[in-house]
Amino acid sequence: MNKKEQRFYLKARQTEKDYLVTVCDEKLLGETVDDGEIELYVNERFFGGELATIEQCISEMNKATSCNLIGFEIVNAAVQNRIVSELAVMWIDCKKNGRVGHVMLIR
């Protein structure tokens, strides 16, 4: 699958003070990411929004006051677009899904 075809689950919500954005790589929704020590469940209620393109995700992340991202592709895109620092990323090497990044951002 090329970059143009990639899809992500994007959920954005406005609260009284904040604009919260969660994004995960499409293949991770409903999956548990673990490396034997760390275990994260990619919850459908939390991450399960609309399927979106990388461009839509970057646009929403740039507007967000808080982001929660999980997945190799979405975290890489956030780093490449200078939304988050690579130093803030927790990388998890799991057998089922390969290398998965997780990062939270609060502005």
Could you tell me the pTM of the whole model?
0.93
Place of tokens 């929704």: 29
* Dist CA 71 CA 69 (whole Å): 7
Place of tokens 């997780």: 102
Question: What b/e string do you get for 20-30 counting C-beta neighbours within 10 Å, with b at 16 or more?
Answer: ebbbbbebbbe
Domains and CATH numbers, the chain: 3-106 (3.30.1860.10)
pLDDT (tens digit, 9 = 90+) per residue, 94-104?
999 999 999 99
pLDDT (tens digit, 9 = 90+) per residue, 18-47?
999 999 999 999 999 999 999 999 999 999
CB 65 within 8 A of CB 107: yes
Concatenating the DSSP letter of every residue in 23-70 gives: EEEGGGTT-EEE-SS-EEE--HHHH--EEE-HHHHHHHHHH-SEEEEE
